Amino acid sequence: MSSTPTPRTRVVREPQRAVYDRDAVNQILDEAFVCHVGFVADGQPYVIPTSYGRDGDVLYIHGSAASRMLRHLDKGVPVCITVTLVDGLVLARSVFNHSMNYRSVVILGTATLVDDPAEKLAALRAISEHILPHRWDDSRLPNEKELKATSVLRLPINEFSAKVRVGPPVDDEEDYSFPTWAGVIPLEMNSGTPIPDDRCEQELPAYLQNYARKKKS
């Protein structure tokens, strides 16, 4: 389902790379781990990296109830959330035309505090399962003290756009004869061998064996 871009989310530079399809945006959000949250507090811009989770058309972020980010966003401050995946280094013949293959998302809106205890717990579960599926049910759940110390914010995914670059380098015609290697170096995220805690007595669960961050269809 495609969304009509707003003047704030319409891609101006390289508009052919713009993506306004909600399903494509969701795929990027579901594959990435970290978002960057931009906001202004007392006239000072901040951009804070944090984990997140998606439930349908809602993005959840969380943190300490005492954090600057959560305290300011709870006041209805406009927020800009970005997510980026880098899929490859694009090596051109000229330095000017070097690039990256990437997928990125920008979401604009106003975040609101999640007050309902059931939604708050569901949001925390969504964040946990987004990072590592099955871990929520395999861990001790947060107690009342921990829940009180944690704030969760809800941001509707209503005003958004994505930008995607794929393919080989694009050089100026006169540079194609320049004697250097040109092409794409693919990049992907891989996990290493799990390292158990010194006091861990449990066998490695199946969901952690050969863990990989896979693209979701």
Q: What is the pLDDT of residue 153?
A: 92
3-state SS, 140-187, equals CCCCHHHHHCEEEEEEECCEEEEEEECCCCCCCHHHCCCCCCCEEEEC
Query: 163 near 13, Cβ under 8 Å?
Result: no
pLDDT of residue 212: 78
Q: Do the Cβ atoms of 114 and 34 come closer than 8 Å?
A: no
- Would you say residue 2 has pLDDT above 90? no
What residue type is 69 in one-letter code?
M
Residues 22-61 have pLDDT tens digits of 999 999 999 999 999 999 988 899 999 999 999 999 999 9
For 118-141, what is the mean pLDDT? 96
Radius of gyration of the chain (CA): 20
Task: Residue count of the chain, please give it.
Answer: 217
Please state the rounded mean pLDDT for residues 146-154. Answer: 93
pLDDT of residue 69: 80
pLDDT digits over 160-216, tens only?
Answer: 999 999 999 999 999 999 999 999 999 998 889 999 999 999 999 999 998 877 654
Q: How many other C-beta atoms are found inside a 10 Å radius of the C-beta of residue 155?
A: 22
- In this model, does residue 217 exceed pLDDT 80? no
Q: Alpha-carbon distance 141 to 153, whole Å?
A: 19
pTM beyond cutoff 0.75: yes
pLDDT digits (tens, 9 = 90+) for 66-115: 787 877 777 778 999 999 999 999 999 999 999 999 999 999 999 999 98
Fold exhibited by the domain 15-176: Pnp Oxidase; Chain A (2.30.110)
Which residues are registered as beta bridge partners of 102?
86, 165
pLDDT at 121 over 80: yes
- In the prediction, which pLDDT does 24 show? 94
